[in-house]
Chain A
Amino acid sequence: MVLLKKTIRRYHRLGSAAPLRLHAGGGREINPPFRLEPGMEARVGEATIIYSSDGVVRACDLYGCFEAFTGGEASVEVRPLPGIHRLKKFSPFIYIELAKSLYARPGSHYWVWVPVDLEVSIGSSVLGVISPVQVKYTLVGDVLGGTVCRHYRSEAYTGPRKPPAGLALLGVRVKSKSDAILPGIGFNALKSPLYRDSEGNLYYSLVEAEIEDERLTVKVQEKPPLQGLVQVYRPRQGALAMVQQLQPFTASLPSPL
């Protein structure tokens, strides 16, 4: 298979949710959404998607691969999903452990990096989901009544710092009456649409963190954190039918020493 290099031709414009089209192979690292034609390949973080010229799609992440034979007739689309689908969907929540505890002041705005998953599909048929980063889970709450959340460890930033491919930016607005120390931020990722900016960076919806009586409640605002972003993923209504799926993230904050 002949692979050409530096081949991304972006014929999308800001304002269009159409996937990027990788012109011909190359394996260059980019963020989804994008489209692959036979003979092309792409890499997003630790995930690779190879669409061979004989019509076989092979997508791999750190935990396995899946293959499908398409006959080479259709193009393969890779779209971003909230990072709760791979390896297993235990709950709709993602918990971002902050590398350094955050001193959160009322009205302040912070940014963290959050993993996304990649949905590989042809037309309306989903071939599978892969993860561009290592998958870990954590328990928020106690062993009996807590919630298992997808886990990621990130620094907190005061501005939207460009993340590596496979990670999206999450804007957190602190909405509380008093300041607090936050060890991490959790949110309901299933409710969150995903957005993309002109440079291909991905964003989750803006979330609001309310701290009251040493309890953190994070609500997804379902609106872009910045102006001028294009929506590239919208939560499916069927997936939101279950009661738990609609609930905001809540957790007790650790008691002061």
Chain B
Amino acid sequence: MASNATGILPISLGSIGVEATRIAATIAILVVGILFAVIVRLGMRRSLSQKMPPHVYKPLENFTFYGLLILAGILALYPLGLDLTSLIVAGGFTGLVLGLAAQNALGNLVSGLFLLAEQPIRVGDPASVAGVSGIVADINILSTVIRTWDGVLVRIPNNRVFNEIITNYYRTSARRVEILIGVHYNTDIDHALAVVKKLMEDHPYCLVNPSPEVFVEEYADSSINLRARCWAPPQVWFATKVELQTRLKKVLEEAGIEIPYPQLDLHLRSAEARVAVELVEERESLKGAGEG
């Protein structure tokens, strides 16, 4: 019995020892792999952020980091006796189960990979995604973060980003600034057009080509409406629009051009006769009241 007992014990201890070594090796590979991925990520960030814009180095960094993590996970399975071929066979079934269980997460992951590859938006771009407008703060593997114009961070799942209409305000070389201004009907139109055009030509961000243009938009009730258009680099589009709108009133005033209030001219036909009748009626009613 003793010998049996002692015989069993070393075998058990031996198998436990073997299992412990394998598990230790797996953990070691995972830890080293994660550390290595983190170090590579930090190294890439440090070296590439100086040389590349965020929209270039961020996806590179993400791809490398997650790629190394997946590689470390696969390598960590080897000490446990699982090779890649059996993993792939098992992966088919596991993937099906996981896919059903984590459909949304996987959808976000796949959408995230497509977004990183296609890059319809980049970190730092002003954009409108799924009704949220602002600056793209980050594009992660599962979600996209947008900082709205009023400074709030909004996290949008990548699945949603991928399927929604994306408006990117930076992915163009120039954007058109448009201003509508009404001038008084007494205004010399040619003079007004020249004044507005000169304002845009003097503005540094109104591009020389395509050239600024001003034209009469419509003869409205109270004013002649002029439409002014110029093209500006997208980075300064808003500043250009605000500056032009602010300075437009000043230059028009300096040029003696009036911006009219809404007005309505009333023309009364044979007004004098009607007023006279009303006066007579009023006088007679007062007279009647006095006698009564």
Contact = CB atoms under 8 A, between A and B. Distances in A.
B171 to A, nearest CB: 8
B153 interface: no
A102 interface: no
A166 to B, nearest CB: 16
Interface residues of B, number: 18
A242 B236 contact: no
Contacts of B51: 241-242
A146 B208 contact: no
Given A90-B233, A144-B172, A139 B204 contact: no
Interface residues of A, number: 24
A139 B210 contact: yes
Interface SS majority for chain A: loop
Given A137-B233, A143-B173, A144-B172, A87 B204 contact: yes
* Residue from B52, B173, B174, B207 whose CB has the most chain A CB atoms within 10 Å: B173
A127 interface: no
A137 B235 contact: no
A41 interface: no
* Residue from A88, A137, A141, A142 whose CB has the most chain B CB atoms within 10 Å: A137
Nearest to B173: A146
Contacts of B3: none
Interface string A109-144: 000000000000000000000000011111111111
A90 B235 contact: yes
A136 B52 contact: no
A238 B210 contact: no
Interface in A144-163: 144-148, 151
B172 A143 contact: yes
Interface string B179-221: 0000000000000000000000010110111100000000000
B237 to A, nearest CB: 12
Nearest to A148: B233
Contacts of B205: 87, 137
Contacts of B210: 139, 143
A97 interface: yes
B246 to A, nearest CB: 15
A97 B208 contact: yes
A103 interface: no
Given A88-B235, A146-B173, A148-B233, 14 more contacts: A87-B204, A88-B236, A135-B204, A136-B207, A138-B209, A139-B210, A143-B173, A144-B172, A146-B174, A147-B173, A148-B173, A151-B207, A238-B50, A242-B52
